[in-house]
Structure 1
Amino acid sequence: MNDSLPSNPTNQVKEEEEEEELHRLIIPDPCRLPLFPPSAIESNFTTYFAPDFIKPGHDQYVYRHANGLCVIGLATAHLALRETRGITAVDFNVGKSDRSEIKITGKRKKNAQHYEPNTALCKVYANDTFYIVRCCVKGLLLEVNDRLIKQPELLNSSIEKVTLQS
Protein backbone atom coordinates (compact mmCIF):
# COMPACT_ATOMS: atom_id res chain seq x y z
CA MET A 1 0.00 0.00 0.00
CA ASN A 2 1.36 3.43 -0.97
CA ASP A 3 1.19 5.98 1.91
CA SER A 4 2.35 8.98 -0.11
CA LEU A 5 -0.20 11.30 -1.60
CA PRO A 6 0.01 12.15 -5.26
CA SER A 7 1.90 15.42 -5.60
CA ASN A 8 0.12 18.39 -7.03
CA PRO A 9 2.11 20.21 -9.78
CA THR A 10 1.55 23.61 -8.12
CA ASN A 11 2.80 22.28 -4.77
CA GLN A 12 5.84 20.83 -6.51
CA VAL A 13 6.62 24.20 -8.13
CA LYS A 14 6.27 25.97 -4.75
CA GLU A 15 8.60 23.46 -3.12
CA GLU A 16 11.19 23.98 -5.87
CA GLU A 17 10.94 27.78 -5.48
CA GLU A 18 11.33 27.51 -1.70
CA GLU A 19 14.34 25.24 -2.16
CA GLU A 20 15.93 27.70 -4.60
CA GLU A 21 15.30 30.59 -2.18
CA LEU A 22 16.82 28.60 0.66
CA HIS A 23 19.83 27.80 -1.53
CA ARG A 24 20.28 31.54 -2.33
CA LEU A 25 20.17 32.41 1.37
CA ILE A 26 22.63 29.72 2.44
CA ILE A 27 25.11 29.97 -0.44
CA PRO A 28 25.76 33.62 -1.37
CA ASP A 29 26.39 34.72 -4.92
CA PRO A 30 30.18 35.18 -5.30
CA CYS A 31 29.63 38.29 -7.41
CA ARG A 32 27.95 40.02 -4.47
CA LEU A 33 30.64 39.20 -1.91
CA PRO A 34 32.99 42.06 -0.93
CA LEU A 35 36.50 41.96 -2.38
CA PHE A 36 38.02 42.08 1.10
CA PRO A 37 36.57 40.83 4.39
CA PRO A 38 35.60 43.50 6.94
CA SER A 39 38.37 44.65 9.25
CA ALA A 40 38.38 43.67 12.91
CA ILE A 41 37.23 47.18 13.79
CA GLU A 42 34.29 47.06 11.37
CA SER A 43 33.12 43.66 12.57
CA ASN A 44 33.73 44.00 16.33
CA PHE A 45 33.21 47.69 17.13
CA THR A 46 30.51 50.31 16.65
CA THR A 47 32.00 53.59 15.47
CA TYR A 48 30.92 56.93 16.93
CA PHE A 49 32.26 60.36 16.05
CA ALA A 50 32.49 63.39 18.29
CA PRO A 51 32.87 66.26 15.80
CA ASP A 52 34.09 69.57 17.18
CA PHE A 53 34.34 68.10 20.68
CA ILE A 54 34.49 71.09 23.08
CA LYS A 55 36.34 73.18 20.43
CA PRO A 56 35.90 73.47 16.65
CA GLY A 57 38.21 71.14 14.73
CA HIS A 58 38.83 68.80 17.67
CA ASP A 59 37.14 65.81 16.03
CA GLN A 60 37.52 62.47 17.76
CA TYR A 61 36.23 58.95 17.28
CA VAL A 62 35.09 56.31 19.75
CA TYR A 63 35.10 52.63 18.86
CA ARG A 64 32.74 50.82 21.25
CA HIS A 65 32.84 47.05 21.67
CA ALA A 66 29.79 45.05 22.73
CA ASN A 67 31.43 44.37 26.11
CA GLY A 68 31.56 48.13 26.83
CA LEU A 69 35.25 48.69 26.05
CA CYS A 70 35.86 51.97 24.21
CA VAL A 71 38.87 52.96 22.12
CA ILE A 72 39.29 56.72 21.75
CA GLY A 73 41.36 58.46 19.09
CA LEU A 74 41.70 61.40 16.74
CA ALA A 75 39.39 61.51 13.73
CA THR A 76 40.99 62.21 10.37
CA ALA A 77 39.48 65.73 10.39
CA HIS A 78 41.21 66.70 13.68
CA LEU A 79 43.28 69.90 13.46
CA ALA A 80 46.44 68.17 14.71
CA LEU A 81 46.38 65.75 11.78
CA ARG A 82 45.99 68.63 9.31
CA GLU A 83 49.24 70.32 10.42
CA THR A 84 52.00 70.35 7.80
CA ARG A 85 54.57 68.32 9.75
CA GLY A 86 51.94 66.20 11.47
CA ILE A 87 52.06 65.13 15.09
CA THR A 88 55.48 65.41 16.69
CA ALA A 89 54.87 64.42 20.34
CA VAL A 90 52.28 62.93 22.68
CA ASP A 91 52.30 63.76 26.41
CA PHE A 92 50.13 61.78 28.82
CA ASN A 93 51.20 63.96 31.78
CA VAL A 94 48.10 66.14 32.06
CA GLY A 95 46.17 67.10 35.14
CA LYS A 96 47.30 65.72 38.49
CA SER A 97 48.80 62.48 37.22
CA ASP A 98 50.67 60.94 34.33
CA ARG A 99 48.13 58.78 32.48
CA SER A 100 50.87 56.47 31.16
CA GLU A 101 51.94 55.53 34.72
CA ILE A 102 48.55 54.08 35.70
CA LYS A 103 48.74 50.38 36.57
CA ILE A 104 45.41 48.55 36.62
CA THR A 105 45.20 45.19 38.39
CA GLY A 106 42.68 42.47 39.06
CA LYS A 107 39.27 41.47 37.89
CA ARG A 108 37.65 44.57 39.40
CA LYS A 109 40.16 46.92 37.73
CA LYS A 110 41.67 48.31 40.93
CA ASN A 111 43.40 51.71 40.62
CA ALA A 112 41.38 52.61 37.52
CA GLN A 113 40.48 56.27 37.48
CA HIS A 114 36.93 57.44 36.77
CA TYR A 115 36.79 59.98 33.96
CA GLU A 116 34.09 62.27 32.65
CA PRO A 117 33.67 63.12 28.95
CA ASN A 118 35.55 66.42 29.27
CA THR A 119 38.55 64.92 31.14
CA ALA A 120 41.90 65.43 29.38
CA LEU A 121 43.63 62.21 28.33
CA CYS A 122 46.76 63.61 26.70
CA LYS A 123 48.32 66.51 24.86
CA VAL A 124 49.20 66.09 21.20
CA TYR A 125 51.90 68.43 19.85
CA ALA A 126 52.06 69.55 16.21
CA ASN A 127 53.97 72.56 14.80
CA ASP A 128 54.70 74.17 18.18
CA THR A 129 51.04 74.04 19.21
CA PHE A 130 49.32 71.45 21.35
CA TYR A 131 45.84 69.98 21.29
CA ILE A 132 44.16 68.37 24.27
CA VAL A 133 42.57 65.00 23.56
CA ARG A 134 39.53 64.49 25.77
CA CYS A 135 37.87 61.32 27.02
CA CYS A 136 34.55 61.83 25.09
CA VAL A 137 32.77 59.19 27.22
CA LYS A 138 32.22 58.57 30.90
CA GLY A 139 34.19 55.58 32.14
CA LEU A 140 37.37 54.09 33.55
CA LEU A 141 40.78 54.53 31.94
CA LEU A 142 42.26 51.03 31.70
CA GLU A 143 45.37 51.74 29.63
CA VAL A 144 46.97 54.11 27.17
CA ASN A 145 49.00 53.30 24.08
CA ASP A 146 52.56 53.69 25.39
CA ARG A 147 53.95 53.35 21.87
CA LEU A 148 52.63 56.84 21.13
CA ILE A 149 55.17 58.32 23.56
CA LYS A 150 58.13 56.88 21.64
CA GLN A 151 56.51 56.90 18.20
CA PRO A 152 54.04 59.84 17.98
CA GLU A 153 54.15 59.58 14.17
CA LEU A 154 51.85 56.54 14.52
CA LEU A 155 48.98 59.01 14.85
CA ASN A 156 49.82 60.40 11.40
CA SER A 157 49.21 57.00 9.80
CA SER A 158 45.89 55.27 9.17
CA ILE A 159 43.57 55.05 12.17
CA GLU A 160 42.87 51.36 11.62
CA LYS A 161 46.59 50.52 11.56
CA VAL A 162 47.27 52.38 14.80
CA THR A 163 44.37 50.72 16.62
CA LEU A 164 45.11 47.20 15.41
CA GLN A 165 48.84 47.35 16.10
CA SER A 166 48.42 48.82 19.55
Structure 2
Amino acid sequence: MTEQNTTKSHKNPEIPDQETLHPGTEQNPMIENKQGGGGEEEEEELKRLLVPNVEDLPLSPPSAIESNFTTYFLTDFLYPGNDQYVHRHANGLCIIGLAPYHVAFKDELGISKVSFDVGKTDRSTIKVTGKRKKVMCFLKFVECCVKGSLLEVNERLIEHPQLLNSSANREGYIAIIMPKPQDWLKAKALMLSFEEYQKLRETC
Protein backbone atom coordinates (compact mmCIF):
# COMPACT_ATOMS: atom_id res chain seq x y z
CA MET A 1 0.00 0.00 0.00
CA THR A 2 1.14 3.42 -0.88
CA GLU A 3 0.97 5.88 1.86
CA GLN A 4 -0.35 9.22 0.89
CA ASN A 5 0.88 12.22 2.75
CA THR A 6 -1.89 14.63 3.33
CA THR A 7 -0.84 18.19 4.06
CA LYS A 8 -3.25 20.06 6.18
CA SER A 9 -3.26 23.82 6.10
CA HIS A 10 -3.45 25.54 9.42
CA LYS A 11 -5.00 28.97 9.53
CA ASN A 12 -3.18 31.68 11.41
CA PRO A 13 -5.72 33.00 13.93
CA GLU A 14 -4.17 36.48 13.63
CA ILE A 15 -4.88 36.71 9.86
CA PRO A 16 -8.58 36.90 8.90
CA ASP A 17 -9.80 34.96 5.95
CA GLN A 18 -10.80 36.47 2.64
CA GLU A 19 -14.49 36.60 3.49
CA THR A 20 -13.72 38.57 6.62
CA LEU A 21 -11.53 41.03 4.70
CA HIS A 22 -13.96 41.45 1.80
CA PRO A 23 -17.51 40.82 3.00
CA GLY A 24 -20.08 40.48 0.27
CA THR A 25 -22.86 42.93 -0.22
CA GLU A 26 -25.54 40.34 0.15
CA GLN A 27 -23.99 38.94 3.30
CA ASN A 28 -23.91 42.29 5.12
CA PRO A 29 -27.14 44.16 4.28
CA MET A 30 -27.58 45.43 7.84
CA ILE A 31 -24.21 47.18 7.82
CA GLU A 32 -24.95 49.02 4.60
CA ASN A 33 -28.41 50.07 5.71
CA LYS A 34 -27.03 51.36 8.98
CA GLN A 35 -24.37 53.39 7.22
CA GLY A 36 -26.86 54.80 4.74
CA GLY A 37 -29.30 55.84 7.45
CA GLY A 38 -26.57 57.58 9.44
CA GLY A 39 -25.56 59.64 6.42
CA GLU A 40 -29.09 60.89 5.90
CA GLU A 41 -29.39 61.88 9.54
CA GLU A 42 -26.11 63.79 9.39
CA GLU A 43 -27.24 65.60 6.24
CA GLU A 44 -30.53 66.63 7.84
CA GLU A 45 -28.72 67.86 10.94
CA LEU A 46 -26.33 69.90 8.78
CA LYS A 47 -29.23 71.49 6.91
CA ARG A 48 -30.90 72.37 10.19
CA LEU A 49 -27.78 74.15 11.40
CA LEU A 50 -26.98 75.99 8.15
CA VAL A 51 -30.50 76.89 6.99
CA PRO A 52 -32.46 78.74 9.72
CA ASN A 53 -36.18 78.47 10.16
CA VAL A 54 -37.88 81.28 8.25
CA GLU A 55 -40.24 81.89 11.15
CA ASP A 56 -37.28 82.60 13.43
CA LEU A 57 -35.81 85.30 11.17
CA PRO A 58 -36.40 89.00 12.04
CA LEU A 59 -38.64 91.08 9.78
CA SER A 60 -35.62 93.19 8.80
CA PRO A 61 -31.86 92.61 9.15
CA PRO A 62 -30.12 94.33 12.08
CA SER A 63 -28.68 97.76 11.35
CA ALA A 64 -25.00 98.61 11.65
CA ILE A 65 -25.76 100.33 14.96
CA GLU A 66 -27.49 97.24 16.35
CA SER A 67 -24.71 94.95 15.17
CA ASN A 68 -21.67 96.97 16.23
CA PHE A 69 -22.77 99.24 19.08
CA THR A 70 -24.36 98.98 22.52
CA THR A 71 -26.92 101.70 23.23
CA TYR A 72 -27.41 103.46 26.56
CA PHE A 73 -29.74 106.27 27.66
CA LEU A 74 -29.41 109.11 30.15
CA THR A 75 -32.46 111.06 31.30
CA ASP A 76 -32.83 114.66 32.47
CA PHE A 77 -29.17 115.51 31.99
CA LEU A 78 -28.58 118.97 33.56
CA TYR A 79 -32.22 119.95 33.03
CA PRO A 80 -35.58 118.11 32.83
CA GLY A 81 -36.29 116.45 29.50
CA ASN A 82 -32.70 116.53 28.25
CA ASP A 83 -32.65 112.82 27.37
CA GLN A 84 -29.70 111.57 25.36
CA TYR A 85 -28.58 108.28 23.89
CA VAL A 86 -25.05 106.91 23.59
CA HIS A 87 -24.12 104.33 20.94
CA ARG A 88 -20.88 102.87 22.27
CA HIS A 89 -18.50 100.79 20.16
CA ALA A 90 -16.27 98.09 21.63
CA ASN A 91 -13.23 100.31 20.96
CA GLY A 92 -14.66 103.01 23.26
CA LEU A 93 -15.94 105.39 20.59
CA CYS A 94 -19.31 106.98 21.46
CA ILE A 95 -22.00 108.45 19.21
CA ILE A 96 -24.18 110.94 21.06
CA GLY A 97 -27.68 112.08 20.12
CA LEU A 98 -31.11 113.09 21.33
CA ALA A 99 -33.19 110.27 22.82
CA PRO A 100 -36.78 109.66 21.61
CA TYR A 101 -38.41 111.42 24.58
CA HIS A 102 -36.19 114.50 24.50
CA VAL A 103 -38.10 117.67 25.32
CA ALA A 104 -37.19 119.21 21.95
CA PHE A 105 -39.32 116.60 20.16
CA LYS A 106 -42.47 117.54 22.03
CA ASP A 107 -43.16 120.52 19.79
CA GLU A 108 -45.61 119.65 17.02
CA LEU A 109 -43.50 121.30 14.32
CA GLY A 110 -40.33 119.60 15.47
CA ILE A 111 -36.80 120.98 15.33
CA SER A 112 -36.26 123.59 12.64
CA LYS A 113 -32.69 124.77 13.19
CA VAL A 114 -29.43 123.50 14.66
CA SER A 115 -26.33 125.56 15.46
CA PHE A 116 -22.95 124.53 16.85
CA ASP A 117 -21.84 128.16 17.20
CA VAL A 118 -21.91 128.42 20.99
CA GLY A 119 -18.32 129.34 21.74
CA LYS A 120 -14.82 129.60 20.32
CA THR A 121 -13.53 126.35 21.76
CA ASP A 122 -16.44 124.27 23.06
CA ARG A 123 -18.41 122.70 20.23
CA SER A 124 -19.80 119.88 22.33
CA THR A 125 -22.84 122.04 23.12
CA ILE A 126 -25.42 122.73 20.42
CA LYS A 127 -28.34 125.11 20.14
CA VAL A 128 -31.59 123.59 18.90
CA THR A 129 -34.35 125.89 17.69
CA GLY A 130 -37.98 124.96 17.11
CA LYS A 131 -40.89 127.13 15.98
CA ARG A 132 -44.07 127.18 18.02
CA LYS A 133 -45.58 130.01 16.01
CA LYS A 134 -44.38 132.21 13.19
CA VAL A 135 -43.27 134.97 15.53
CA MET A 136 -42.09 132.79 18.42
CA CYS A 137 -39.31 130.31 18.89
CA PHE A 138 -37.66 128.40 21.68
CA LEU A 139 -34.03 127.51 22.24
CA LYS A 140 -32.56 124.42 23.83
CA PHE A 141 -28.89 124.07 24.66
CA VAL A 142 -27.80 120.46 24.57
CA GLU A 143 -24.57 119.58 26.34
CA CYS A 144 -22.94 116.20 25.80
CA CYS A 145 -23.70 113.73 28.57
CA VAL A 146 -20.30 112.02 28.35
CA LYS A 147 -16.99 113.78 28.93
CA GLY A 148 -14.38 113.04 26.27
CA SER A 149 -12.39 114.21 23.27
CA LEU A 150 -14.64 115.60 20.54
CA LEU A 151 -13.85 113.83 17.27
CA GLU A 152 -16.69 115.08 15.09
CA VAL A 153 -19.91 117.05 15.11
CA ASN A 154 -22.64 116.21 12.65
CA GLU A 155 -22.52 119.33 10.50
CA ARG A 156 -25.21 117.91 8.22
CA LEU A 157 -27.68 119.02 10.88
CA ILE A 158 -26.93 122.66 10.07
CA GLU A 159 -28.41 122.37 6.57
CA HIS A 160 -30.69 119.43 7.29
CA PRO A 161 -32.08 119.84 10.83
CA GLN A 162 -35.03 117.63 9.87
CA LEU A 163 -32.70 114.65 10.34
CA LEU A 164 -33.24 115.11 14.07
CA ASN A 165 -36.98 114.72 13.57
CA SER A 166 -36.83 111.74 11.21
CA SER A 167 -33.77 109.72 12.26
CA ALA A 168 -32.25 111.13 15.43
CA ASN A 169 -30.73 107.76 16.36
CA ARG A 170 -28.93 107.33 13.02
CA GLU A 171 -28.18 110.11 10.52
CA GLY A 172 -29.38 112.70 13.02
CA TYR A 173 -26.70 112.02 15.62
CA ILE A 174 -25.10 115.06 17.26
CA ALA A 175 -21.46 114.19 17.82
CA ILE A 176 -18.81 111.49 18.06
CA ILE A 177 -16.49 111.50 21.05
CA MET A 178 -13.82 109.33 22.64
CA PRO A 179 -14.05 109.33 26.43
CA LYS A 180 -11.36 108.15 28.80
CA PRO A 181 -12.16 104.78 30.40
CA GLN A 182 -12.68 106.28 33.85
CA ASP A 183 -14.97 109.00 32.48
CA TRP A 184 -17.03 106.42 30.60
CA LEU A 185 -17.47 104.20 33.64
CA LYS A 186 -18.61 107.19 35.67
CA ALA A 187 -21.21 108.16 33.05
CA LYS A 188 -22.32 104.58 32.39
CA ALA A 189 -23.24 104.10 36.05
CA LEU A 190 -26.11 106.59 35.56
CA MET A 191 -27.37 105.21 32.24
CA LEU A 192 -30.26 102.93 31.34
CA SER A 193 -30.88 100.23 28.77
CA PHE A 194 -33.51 100.83 26.08
CA GLU A 195 -36.08 98.71 27.92
CA GLU A 196 -35.44 100.58 31.18
CA TYR A 197 -35.58 103.95 29.45
CA GLN A 198 -38.81 103.20 27.60
CA LYS A 199 -40.48 101.84 30.72
CA LEU A 200 -39.46 104.93 32.70
CA ARG A 201 -40.76 107.42 30.14
CA GLU A 202 -44.00 105.57 29.44
CA THR A 203 -44.88 105.62 33.14
CA CYS A 204 -44.01 109.30 33.62
TM-score (norm 1): 0.69
Cα deviation, residue 98, structure 1: 5.9
Residue 124 of structure 1: aligned partner:
128
Query: Is the aligned partner of 1:143 residue 2:152?
Result: yes
- What is the distance in 1 between the residues matched to 2:108 and 2:59? 34
Residue 30 of structure 1: aligned partner:
54
Provide structure 2 residue ranges, at least 5 long, that are not aligned to the other structure: 1-20, 23-29, 132-136, 176-204
Provide structure 1 residue ranges, at least 5 long, that are not aligned to the other structure: 100-119
Compare CA radii of gyration and give the structure with the larger one.
Answer: 2
Q: Give the RMSD, CA atoms, in angstroms.
A: 3.2
Residue 159 of structure 1: aligned partner:
168
Q: Summarize the alignment of residues 83-122 of structure 1 with structure 2, pairs less than 5 Å apart.
A: 83-97=107-121, 99=123, 120-122=124-126
| SS of residue matched to 1:86 | coil
| SS of residue matched to 1:73 | strand
Cα deviation, residue 92, structure 1: 0.9
Whether the 8 Å CA contact 2:99–2:169 is kept in 1: the answer is no
Cα deviation, residue 65, structure 1: 1.5
Aligned AA for 2:105?
A: L
Query: Is the aligned partner of 1:42 residue 2:46?
Result: no
Residue 77 of structure 2: aligned partner:
53
Aligned AA for 1:125?
A: T
**Number of aligned residues:** 144
| SS of residue matched to 2:142 | strand
Cα deviation, residue 62, structure 1: 0.8
Whether the 8 Å CA contact 1:61–1:72 is kept in 2: the answer is yes
**Cα deviations by residue, 1:11-48 (Å, 9 ceiling, x for unpaired):** x9999777655542332112211221111111121111
**Cα deviations by residue, 1:62-103 (Å, 9 ceiling, x for unpaired):** 11112222111111111111112211221212244363xxxx
| SS of residue matched to 1:81 | helix
Aligned AA for 2:67?
A: S
Whether the 8 Å CA contact 1:61–1:73 is kept in 2: the answer is yes
Q: 1:84 to 1:90 in 2, by over 3 A?
A: same
Whether the 8 Å CA contact 2:164–2:172 is kept in 1: the answer is no
Identity %: 57
TM-score (norm 2): 0.57
- What is the distance in 1 between the residues matched to 2:114 and 2:66? 27
- What is the distance in 1 between the residues matched to 2:93 and 2:60? 26
